[in-house]
Structure 1
Amino acid sequence: MREWRGVSGTMAALAGLPAPARARPVAGAGAAGWDADTFLARARAWRQAFAARPGTRWALYLDGHAEFAAALFGAWHAGKHVVLPGDALPATVAALRGGAGAVDGLAGELPGGLLPAPAGLPEAAGSGEAAAWPPLDARHCGLTLFTSGSSGVPQAVPKQLRQLEAEVAALEAAFGAALPDGAQVLCTVAPQHIYGLLFCVLWPLAAGRPMPLARLAFHEELVAQAAALDGPALLVSSPAHLRRLPEELDWAPARRALRAVFSSGGPLPAQAASDALRHLGQAPIEVFGSSETGGIAWRQQARQQERWSPLPGVDWCLRDGLLAVRSDHLPDAGWHVCADLAQPAADGGFVLAGRADRIAKIEEKRVSLSAVERALAATPLVQEARVTLLELAVGTRLAAVVVPAAAGQAVLAAQGRAGLAAALREALADTVDTLALPRRWRFPAALPCNAQGKTSDAMLRALFRRVLPEVRWLDGDGDGDGATATAELYIDGELAVFDGHFPRAPIVPGVAQVEWVMQLAPQRLPVPPRTAFQRLDVLKFQAVIVPGSTVALALTWQAERATLAFRLSSAAGTHASGRIVFGATHD
């Protein structure tokens, strides 16, 4: 029978374990795993490092879950408030260092971050070790998380430890009885966000399950780790990973090891849920919530379809069609009104009906972006779809990023992008107002996503800000003097090169055409780096290139002369030609 440790008393509970129990893994498995003494030694080193530094607000970023957990508890027991940035990008670090929410120091893998002294061999916990780790004050200890930024700029969300403890207790009450004792946690998500923090760090530690040492970036790693396990496991993942399970992998080891699969960060497409059940042997348990509200509800599509069941201790109601929740996961006892539209369902559950905050005005008409996404997803041509807003010359309009299903791929192969876009517009015509029909389209193999498996509006808009045209390489001889390559370029009207050039009669600037040649040629020919560029010879621009054109690119590399000849042409004739001459490489 598992002993429930809770979160605030985790370190004292670990230090107080009898010797045989301390030898069981706290993180990972096998020779590489951490037992209780190893974990306590790392946490002790982090506590000493934090205690030696002034200031109370410290930003922490570590990708490995076990080291992250040791640093987190070390900071808490040193009296620090921990701030968890979602990434370590320069802009994020700059925001941590300045502004109203500035931190007093950086730790872990942040630039110049605090690190503890290298730890030697762990020492066995002595009789006074538990007293050295008194329970944390759950109302005064805490951390600050950030929202994912999927609908805007990430927002800081402070959390008291008592809120996190309430969430962990709710997860154990909902799912703990179905999980075998000692089940190893495998994960594909980072600990910097609420989902990974709860499911991969705090819940395993509180329930006595081995947490992961680090996240698994590739599906092959998941299969290999499952095959290496001697006992059961559970997988903590996201729609970004579960919707891309490769058919060619041998998933038998995962089916043998896994006793549960969790998913959060966004709704799991029905096909992805079905594929996960087939490959992994478990129907994914989806958990719905947010950084602000904590966990709200869960479902298994194989049993509940679209109906969500509230987690233990979560009350809900509808206010003007919006979901409102109340629980100990929130900072106070009041009702929190979400931006999610919902409808009541059987057995005390509810069905989500999109986001109320995804309403846009297009020429004074209110348009639901969620409704357009649902209409796209309902067509057999679409596997997944997201829409965003773009400012075009005619005003604000919708743009769609669509991952084609098999039927959509067939249309794309036979009729091209324009044919698939036309088919989708026709499919939407009966349910979507003409003004709300997307004006721009992208058809990637998968939606872009961040470390949380979420797709932000910024990521979607970035797909419509490309500099290079779409390229389809045809043939060529890339070896020796006189090496050649040819390609077909589709000149999308949304390319950034058309900005301001010219608003009423857009054309591709000549400098952009040369830049395309410079960037594309190295993909097929052994040309020198651009630092060796010397001059342009016999450069001619003979006809303009307009949006929607398909242009042929012909390249010839003359190694003896260090010259790249190029020609851009179409049915309208030659658009541009010339030679790029290279000299010695400048380091």
Structure 2
Amino acid sequence: MAEWRALADVAVRPLPGRAFLAAGAASADHANFHREVLHWQASFRARAGDTWALHFEDAARFAAALYGAWHAGKTVVLPGDALTGTQARLRTRVDGFVGDWIESDMPAPDHAPDADAAMVALDADTTRLVVFTSGSTGEPVAIEKRLRQLDAEVHALEAALGTPLDGVAVHGTVSHQHIYGLLFRVLWPLAAGRAIVSRAFFPEDLLAAMDGQDAVLIASPAHLKRLPAQLSWASLHGKLRAVFSSGGALPAEAAHEVARLLGVPPTEILGSSETGGIAWRRWETEVPVWHPLPGVEWRVQDGVLEVHSHHLSGDAWWRSQDRAEADAAGGFRLLGRADRIVKVEERRVSLDALERQIETHPAVKDARVLLLGGARSALAAVVAMADGVPVPADAASRRALSQSLSRHLAATQDAVTRPRRWRFVVALPSNAQGKVTEAALTALFRPERPEPHWTLRESGRAHVDLLLDASLAVFDGHFTQAAILPGVAQLDWAVQFAREAFAMPPSFLRMEALKFQRVARPGDLIRLDLDWQAERGTLVFRYTSVHGAHASGRVVFADGE
């Protein structure tokens, strides 16, 4: 704790000689970081407008731009991505865009700092940041944070969890554009003087980056559940000090497998964009209890968890939708969501209870149940298959499995309270923060794309057959006179299916040689040929059918941070 600094002082008092990024990165120490902040500060001061949207894949550039904006008196808006649609939605609430946007008002600092300008500590009450919820049930909601709230939270994290982390390099698979990654990969390391390492997108890159280092890993359940067991994770044993997970529940089976592979039990963080961090638990026992972070008060009212802390924007108690019970050890256990009770034909159904029952079937690993709207509401279930159990490939197999699952539920659920519609997947759809969103689940029942039938999957080549059913949502409203497969859908499908077949960089760079030669209509069986040229970061795709060539092109990707 000797090198600890308040977040308000991070850019004011650089730590001479102290590593900021891992060896080989462009910005090597806090002194260089301090200079970059001064450049950004001068550039922001030269611009009118109080509110700016920041998006950088690179953590070092992001941190310098963030503090430069803050020291220039700007409010920073932190979207989860830099997509065109996101930029369009933000135009009415921000004065400019900085970073990796298609249209950036300031991609890099372009003003030299005033040599005589003195940098003073930030005002913890007036320095502000806007983050967004994950939007799991709709549009993301903006949440304003003051620096005082963020500072209280990193102090709490250090007090509860920082003791074994002296001298570590902070590695991660999550984005700093969301509150969890922002705190754990940027703000907490800056306050504690720990080295920040660029984000890793693939397990092989993560292993290579951590090998031989004293390290900590910041990850999500989506990443931790999919660690390839064949990689030599044992090389990290004794060096990897901690593994953190947040953004969703980490299943017990996955938590214990992480401990076995990585040599350290994962630590889960409970919290949200609204509340900040609430509690933590470490998987050293079969099912550990949650321990509140220092300074966080909690209580159970009417069976529901309520919290009060300096991480919140006000003094009122915040009521969650988590059912909870106190534990004799002084912590608490979560019992599922209180707001997941739905009515089906006047019958009350607990979606949590239904999911737990489905998950006891030997063919099931994960399950999510939702209520589909419409003229007559119906329960629907998305099922991720257990390890070694293939996703049923044809209608007859899917029907047999859904009937088996329905019989499995019959002992405790009647026909009204059992799912009527089923979808079977390798893994539940999740966003970048590892959260399974209702929008993604619903889309499986009104799919934007056809079900793939893979005929070839190799390291750099894949072929997939796609039957264009007339019920696909992409046929709705695009052409008034005839249903035609839109070109934008063909491009999107090529990228989506390629990501399922190959390990590809996350960032889209450009399109090349795009041609649309023949329309595709409902009822057509089209073949998509994919050629991934990893050394060039280029995906070549081609759609054909018995009618001939439909479309082709190249898509170029770039490594992100």
- The TM-score, its normalising length taken from structure 2, stands at 0.81
Q: Residue 433 and residue 184 in structure 1: after superposition, are their counterparts in 2 closer, same or farther (change >3 A)?
A: farther
Look up the SS of the partner of 2:399 in the other structure: helix
Look up the SS of the partner of 2:322 in the other structure: strand
Q: Which of 225, 232, 240 matches 2:209?
A: 225
Question: Cα offset for 1:472?
Answer: 3.5
Q: Which of 171, 174, 198 matches 1:189?
A: 174
Q: Give the distance between the partners of 1:469 and 1:347, measured in 2 at CA.
A: 51
- Residue identity (%): 48
**Contact 2:430–2:440 (CA<8 Å) still a contact in 1?**
yes
Q: Name the one with the larger helix percent.
A: 1
Q: Which of 391, 412, 421 matches 2:402?
A: 421
Q: Residue 408 and residue 164 in structure 1: after superposition, are their counterparts in 2 closer, same or farther (change >3 A)?
A: same
Q: Residue 72 and residue 511 in structure 1: after superposition, are their counterparts in 2 closer, same or farther (change >3 A)?
A: closer
Q: Which structure 2 segments of 5+ residues have no match?
A: 457-462, 498-512, 528-543, 554-561
Question: Cα offset for 1:433?
Answer: 4.6
- Which letter does structure 2 place at the counterpart of 1:194? I
Q: Residue 50 and residue 38 in structure 1: after superposition, are their counterparts in 2 closer, same or farther (change >3 A)?
A: same
Look up the SS of the partner of 1:199 in the other structure: helix
Q: Give the distance between the partners of 1:218 and 1:498, measured in 2 at CA.
A: 34
When structure 1 is superposed on structure 2, of 446-455 and 427-436 the one drifting more is: 427-436
Q: Residue 449 and residue 414 in structure 1: after superposition, are their counterparts in 2 closer, same or farther (change >3 A)?
A: closer
> Are residue 54 (structure 1) and residue 41 (structure 2) matched?
no
Question: Cα offset for 1:55?
Answer: 1.4
Q: What does residue range 116-265 of structure 1 map to in structure 2 within 5 Å?
A: 116-117=108-109, 132-179=118-165, 181-212=166-197, 214-227=198-211, 229=212, 231-265=213-247
State the partner residue of 2:89: 95
- Which letter does structure 2 place at the counterpart of 1:292? E
Q: Residue 39 and residue 530 in structure 1: after superposition, are their counterparts in 2 closer, same or farther (change >3 A)?
A: closer
Q: Give the distance between the partners of 1:429 and 1:582, measured in 2 at CA.
A: 49
Q: Give the distance between the partners of 2:111 and 2:140, measured in 1 at CA.
A: 35
**Contact 2:252–2:286 (CA<8 Å) still a contact in 1?**
no
The structure number with the bigger radius of gyration is: 1
Q: What does residue range 467-546 of structure 1 map to in structure 2 within 5 Å?
A: 469-472=450-453, 495-496=472-473, 531-533=516-518
State the partner residue of 1:11: 11
Question: Cα offset for 1:384?
Answer: 1.5
Q: Give the distance between the partners of 2:38 and 2:475, measured in 1 at CA.
A: 58
Question: Cα offset for 1:64?
Answer: 1.5
Q: Give the distance between the partners of 1:365 and 1:275, measured in 2 at CA.
A: 39
Q: Give the distance between the partners of 1:203 and 1:279, measured in 2 at CA.
A: 26
State the partner residue of 1:27: 21
Question: Cα offset for 1:377?
Answer: 2.6
**Contact 1:262–1:286 (CA<8 Å) still a contact in 2?**
yes
Q: Give the distance between the partners of 1:247 and 1:67, measured in 2 at CA.
A: 34
Q: Give the distance between the partners of 1:161 and 1:340, measured in 2 at CA.
A: 27
Question: Cα offset for 1:246?
Answer: 0.8
When structure 1 is superposed on structure 2, of 447-456 and 218-227 the one drifting more is: 447-456
Question: Cα offset for 1:157?
Answer: 0.7
- Which letter does structure 2 place at the counterpart of 1:104? D
State the partner residue of 1:112: 103
Question: Cα offset for 1:32?
Answer: 4.6
Question: Cα offset for 1:489?
Answer: 6.3
- The TM-score, its normalising length taken from structure 1, stands at 0.77
**Contact 1:412–1:420 (CA<8 Å) still a contact in 2?**
no
Question: Cα offset for 1:364?
Answer: 2.5
Question: Cα offset for 1:467?
Answer: 5.2
**Contact 1:411–1:419 (CA<8 Å) still a contact in 2?**
no
Q: Give the distance between the partners of 1:514 and 1:89, measured in 2 at CA.
A: 20
- For these two proteins, the number of residue pairs brought into alignment is 507
**Contact 2:12–2:34 (CA<8 Å) still a contact in 1?**
no
Q: Residue 252 and residue 116 in structure 1: after superposition, are their counterparts in 2 closer, same or farther (change >3 A)?
A: same
> Are residue 438 (structure 1) and residue 419 (structure 2) matched?
yes
Q: Residue 407 and residue 583 in structure 1: after superposition, are their counterparts in 2 closer, same or farther (change >3 A)?
A: closer
**Contact 1:534–1:582 (CA<8 Å) still a contact in 2?**
no
Q: Give the distance between the partners of 1:276 and 1:442, measured in 2 at CA.
A: 28
Look up the SS of the partner of 2:196 in the other structure: coil
Question: Cα offset for 1:420?
Answer: 2.0
Q: Give the distance between the partners of 2:382 and 2:454, measured in 1 at CA.
A: 24
- Which letter does structure 2 place at the counterpart of 1:54? A
**Contact 1:397–1:439 (CA<8 Å) still a contact in 2?**
yes
Q: Residue 375 and residue 208 in structure 1: after superposition, are their counterparts in 2 closer, same or farther (change >3 A)?
A: same
State the partner residue of 1:277: 259
Q: Residue 373 and residue 494 in structure 1: after superposition, are their counterparts in 2 closer, same or farther (change >3 A)?
A: farther
When structure 1 is superposed on structure 2, of 3-12 and 162-171 the one drifting more is: 3-12
Q: Residue 132 and residue 342 in structure 1: after superposition, are their counterparts in 2 closer, same or farther (change >3 A)?
A: same
**Contact 1:50–1:78 (CA<8 Å) still a contact in 2?**
yes
Question: Cα offset for 1:415?
Answer: 7.2
Q: Residue 153 and residue 471 in structure 1: after superposition, are their counterparts in 2 closer, same or farther (change >3 A)?
A: closer
Q: Give the distance between the partners of 2:549 and 2:321, measured in 1 at CA.
A: 57
**Contact 1:385–1:402 (CA<8 Å) still a contact in 2?**
yes
Q: Residue 532 and residue 435 in structure 1: after superposition, are their counterparts in 2 closer, same or farther (change >3 A)?
A: same
After superposition, the C-alpha distances for 1:149-172 in whole angstroms (9 at most, x for unaligned) are 112221111111111011000000
After superposition, the C-alpha distances for 1:438-481 in whole angstroms (9 at most, x for unaligned) are 22222222222222121211111122222554353669xxxxxx
Q: Give the distance between the partners of 2:485 and 2:101, measured in 1 at CA.
A: 40
Q: Give the distance between the partners of 1:496 and 1:294, measured in 2 at CA.
A: 37
